[in-house]
Chains A and B, each alone.
Chain A
Amino acid sequence: MNIPSDLKYAKSHEWVRQEGDSYVIGVTDFAQNELGDIVFVNLPQEGDSVSVGDAFSDVESVKAVSDVLSPVSGVVEAVNEELLDDPAKVNSDPYGAWFIKVKDVSETEELLDAAAYEAHCAAEKE
């Protein structure tokens, strides 16, 4: 399982990368593996507000749909529209397949570093 050390992680399996004042968010390798073949990603619109712990997106596999929760509160600055045409990228390159970029961040949940997240995943697998 791939857990890059330069990223932060939410317990609900989203990764976060800080770029200046903005936060880029996607789902982890662990998450994509659990979800199976992803067939569609519902994304918010630029300018939408997101809040810590609330769903900002959902991902569809053939027989399931799962919410993606926001680890930060702020305003959506950009969405990765490439995922609309190529949802499989979430499976093949989870850390390249970012979902949204958030600006004006007022709050972030307590994020884990790679080691802590790896332990969290291991515990969840039990």
Chain B
Amino acid sequence: MKTIFELSKPGRGNKVLTPYKTTVGLDPTKEVPKADIPASFKRASAPRLPEVSENDLSRHYNALARRSFGVCDGFYPLGSCTMKYNPKVNESIAALSGFTDIHPLQPKHTVSGCETVYSLARKYLCGITGMDDMTFQPAAGAHGEFTGVLLIKAYHESRGDHARKKIIVPDSAHGTNPATAAMCGFEVCSITSTADGMVDLDALRAVVGPDTAGLMLTNPNTVGKFDKNILEITKIVHDAGGLCYYDGANLNAVMGVARPGDMGFDVCHLNLHKTFSTPHGGGGPGSGAVGCKEILKPFLPASTLGEEPSAQSIGQVKMFYGNFLVVLRAVAYLMTLGNSGVREAAQTAVLNANYMKKKMEEAGYIAAYPGICMHEFVLDLAELKKETGVSALDVAKSMLDHGIHPPTMYFPLIVHEALMFEPTETESRETLDEACAVMAEILKTAKEDPAACHAAPHHTVIGRPDETKAARHPVVRYEFGA
């Protein structure tokens, strides 16, 4: 397909604005006088932006949309990403001009609607997490992690406890956890998991000490299991003087059922774009709200222009107050679900995952961790690969031909041929049954005709791309001809 630059023709374009210089002399009451930008500040040549008619523009972007895949297109069981249905009413609310057309630096008494949205979000989400306060500045999960771990750093420093240089992270953790700890100036201390995917308590006890700043953990963890030793884990860290960080990536399994605050966590982030159903937008914008216990409250970020940061605040992590329109959608979602719906959603997410896991096992797949799972589960395809040569990647690519978005591949790293499924609560039994039938069919193909799996996908707009070529000789922008 052509890029928009290849559709461009000089002189084409749209009349969004009236060129003001053409009207200057005609009616001085209507147009401001001509003013010329000093030559020393002017650019030498115009940027080569596309010059296209609006019709061409519209068709171009519709063609791009057709070559993409959203939750609106089909089942999207991308593990760890919680691709649930995104309610339409939230989009209508986020488009209200009484929210979109509000300047972040308007006087306080002119934004009480926005402030009410934040105070409701704070109330609801503190209730769900068991935290005492919350900031909405962070724009994404990783950004929330960064904010939360900085709160831990500021806490220790405020106490003159400068020896706490290490953050403990399980080896099953998402890559953002160690990357976050490093960004916050900490040394990363990786600990092994037990055979059933839990934190190894002995390994934890062996590494905690006066240099422990804290622990970062998801619960349910990245293999989709709830760590039943959670109270013992947080106690070990607290006894050593460290704090506990809850990565909210997997909160969808336990919202309304159990609270990170009650598990012994001191600070957590939430992915409002996952758990609270605001759409993912092709990769963002999201919101990584961070909740904390009373002891960390003095260090919360605040905007220098719009608010009064406390003396101990870590400062700002983002301009202004965060992604307001994302938080707004989450509030609308929580109002819809209400006190009964939140738990019901979590339970259904867990039920759907277990239902699917059992059917997959019946079809002949091997779950990496047996027993009841939480909202997601991991298949281990190592045996299949050994037997047929068909890898997790081949299976995932085969799913594309059946209109299903593949699960997360090769994560967690501790399972080598991993496929991680997270069906979410907003899928019907029929959808789950169909997906399981597709998976059974792929397994059959893998055994009978592995070459077909290696060559998949067969029915997508492109075949497998050459990623080695892309990385060796990066072409990261359109090159204009002479």
A and B directly contacting (CB within 8 A): yes
A interface residues with partner B (beta carbon < 8 Å): 37, 39-40, 60-63, 87-88
Q: Could you say which residues of chain A place their CB within 8 Å of the CB of B355?
A: none
Flag whether B124 is at the interface (Cβ < 8 A).
no
Q: Are B468 and A62 in contact, CB atoms less than 8 angstroms apart?
A: yes
Q: Are A39 and B410 in contact, CB atoms less than 8 angstroms apart?
A: no
Would you give the 0/1 interface string for B441-482, flagging 1 where the beta carbon is closer than 8 Å to chain A?
000000000000000000000000001100110000000000
Q: Are A87 and B472 in contact, CB atoms less than 8 angstroms apart?
A: yes
Q: Are B468 and A63 in contact, CB atoms less than 8 angstroms apart?
A: no
Apart from the given pairs A40-B471, A63-B410, 13 other A-B contacts in the complex at a CB distance below 8 Å:
A37-B468, A37-B472, A39-B468, A39-B471, A39-B472, A40-B472, A60-B471, A61-B468, A62-B467, A62-B468, A62-B471, A87-B472, A88-B472
Interface of B is mostly: helix
B interface residues with partner A (beta carbon < 8 Å): 410, 467-468, 471-472
Shortest Cβ distance from B409 into A: residue: A63
User: Tally of A-B residue pairs with Cβ under 8 A?
Assistant: 15
Q: Could you say which residues of chain A place their CB within 8 Å of the CB of B471?
A: 39-40, 60, 62
A87 to B471, CA, bound (A): 10
Shortest Cβ distance from B410 into A: residue: A63
Shortest Cβ distance from B467 into A: residue: A62
A99 to B467, CA, bound (A): 24
A39 to B471, CA, bound (A): 6
Between-chain CB contacts (< 8 Å), 15 pairs: A37-B468, A37-B472, A39-B468, A39-B471, A39-B472, A40-B471, A40-B472, A60-B471, A61-B468, A62-B467, A62-B468, A62-B471, A63-B410, A87-B472, A88-B472
A18 CB, min distance to chain B CBs, angstroms: 31
A88 to B469, CA, bound (A): 10
A115 to B380, CA, bound (A): 37
A60 to B471, CA, bound (A): 9
Q: Could you say which residues of chain B place their CB within 8 Å of the CB of A60?
A: 471
Closest 9 CB pairs of A and B: A39-B471, A37-B468, A62-B467, A39-B472, A62-B471, A62-B468, A39-B468, A87-B472, A88-B472
Shortest Cβ distance from B472 into A: residue: A39
Shortest Cβ distance from A39 into B: residue: B471
Q: Could you say which residues of chain A place their CB within 8 Å of the CB of B410?
A: 63
A39 CB, min distance to chain B CBs, angstroms: 4
A3 to B451, CA, bound (A): 33
Q: Could you say which residues of chain A place their CB within 8 Å of the CB of B472?
A: 37, 39-40, 87-88
Q: Could you say which residues of chain B place their CB within 8 Å of the CB of A88?
A: 472
